[in-house]
Copies of this chain bind each other. A is one copy, B any other.
């Protein structure tokens, strides 16, 4: 393949292969870090400093339930949090198309301010660039962030006792339960419904939100093997990454997967699989069996009433499978990419 396609940035197997083939061999990290680029996890870790980056190219900039500002803070806060970091400080880099309305930008900046306060993080450094009219699609934001090792992580890791000092993707073991914190596919479907020609439902709202405070509460319970946020490529992509990196099988139960009726209907109408659609305010957890119910209760009590135990980890096979409502079992393959481009 000679040219970059939209799938190279869609977060699925094509993105994964592209990064493996073109970026990792050239950069050749020396592995002196706890977690590095080579781990393809949500963040890198140097000396207990968790470091993460994301550029946000979401289209449209304002959508039902959020905007690029809220997304750019929540996304990076969540990437730092899910691996076991407590997010502290963010950078904000604005790349703006010439002619962009300053009023619109101020709205986005206010959303950034609000979301920073909600997550209790500060922006401490930044950059502003402007590109000539016609050479950029309005606005791109990069936020990077640093976090410290979460104060509750040591106790969790000791109790877990599986080698890694962090909540990495390779931590899953047979018998673990898989939990999801709420309904799936809301963000991707909200983005799609906000696009021109797709205004099929105004009842679908993005779930975009920072989840570090919820993760604080979960780590108080303990017994967490791994946390991850099912963004590009959705739950299907995340579970396959867990399965590959941990060398285990994962079985989930369709009837247990929380999904809003309107999202389900819209996805079905468009022929999209909600398991492959991105979320921006949900986490999946792999937790020790003995702690699963206590963690589920903690998440629900925190306000995420749709949280469910959706499956478990098995050594019987090395793939992701789903028991369907109609009675069969089907393999959930790794998506080649998120079916909705530019959701984040």
Residues of chain A at the chain B interface (Cβ within 8 Å): 1-10, 15, 18-19, 22-23, 26-30, 32-33, 35-37, 43-47, 49, 51-55, 57, 88-89, 91-103, 105-106, 109-110, 112-113, 116, 122-132, 135-137, 140, 142, 144, 146, 148, 341-342
Contact = CB atoms under 8 A, between A and B. Distances in A.
A43 B259 CA distance: 43
Contact of A8 (B36, B51, B96, B146): B96
9 contacts: A5-B98, A27-B123, A36-B122, A37-B124, A44-B89, A49-B146, A132-B342, A135-B137, A142-B144
A295 to B, nearest CB: 27
Contacts of A102: 1-4, 22
B9 A57 contact: no
B22 A124 contact: no
B125 A131 contact: no
A95 to B, nearest CB: 5
A55 B130 contact: no
Contact of A125 (B3, B52, B57, B103): B52
A91 B53 contact: yes
Contacts of A2: 101-103
B27 A127 contact: no
Contacts of A130: 4-10, 341
A129 B9 contact: yes
B55 A125 contact: no
Given A89-B44, A136-B137, A127 B51 contact: no
A110 B26 contact: yes
Given A1-B102, A136-B135, A51 B129 contact: no
Contacts of A109: 22-23, 26-27
A7 to B, nearest CB: 8
A23 B4 CA distance: 34
Given A5-B99, A53-B125, 6 more contacts: A18-B128, A26-B109, A27-B116, A32-B122, A33-B124, A36-B124
Contacts of A23: 92, 109, 126, 128
A43 B137 CA distance: 28
Contact of A142 (B43, B53, B113, B135): B53
A37 B128 contact: no
A98 B53 contact: no
A4 B1 CA distance: 38
A25 to B, nearest CB: 9
The 6 closest A-B pairs by CB, nearest first: A44-B124, A9-B130, A144-B144, A44-B125, A53-B91, A135-B137
